[in-house]
């Protein structure tokens, strides 16, 4: 899922905006109607079920995803 801090006024994102965030094309919340703050992308390890579904839905390859952190275990997430 996507998590946005409660202080950020963004209430919805388009599929295109989400894909652009994960591809590193949108790096600031201000570009999508939010506060002027950087977006931190945290992703799961390649091969995880949620990642596979995400890539399929957004028609992306794992190598396209630009994450600052990659987490594996559910407890870490």
pLDDT per residue over 44-63, tens digit each?
A: 666 666 777 777 777 887 77
Mean pLDDT by 10 residues, the chain (77 residues): 83 91 92 92 69 78 72 53
Question: Helix H segments across 1-77?
Answer: 15-22, 49-58
Q: What is the pLDDT of residue 13?
A: 92
What is the dotted CATH code of the domain comprising 15-71? 3.40.190.10
SS3 state of residue 13: coil
User: Residue 70 is encoded by which pair of tokens?
Assistant: 């990659």
Task: Name the percent of the chain lying above pLDDT 90.
Answer: 27
Q: What is the pLDDT of residue 69?
A: 61
Any bridge partners for residue 42, and if so which?
69
Angle at 48 between CA 46 and CA 49, to 5 degrees: 135
Task: Name the percent of the chain lying above pLDDT 70.
Answer: 78
Of the candidates 76, 9, 6, the residue with the CA atom closest to the CA atom of residue 43: 76
Global confidence as pTM = 0.72
Q: What is the pLDDT of residue 57?
A: 79
């Amino acid at each position: 899922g996507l998590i946005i801090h409660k202080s950020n006024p963004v209430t919805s994102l388009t599929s295109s905006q989400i894909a652009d965030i994960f591809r590193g094309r949108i790096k600031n919340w201000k570009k999508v109607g939010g506060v002027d703050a950087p977006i931190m992308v945290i992703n799961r390890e390649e091969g995880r079920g949620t990642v596979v579904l995400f890539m399929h839905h957004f028609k992306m390859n794992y190598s396209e995803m630009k994450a600052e952190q990659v987490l594996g275990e559910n407890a870490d997430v």
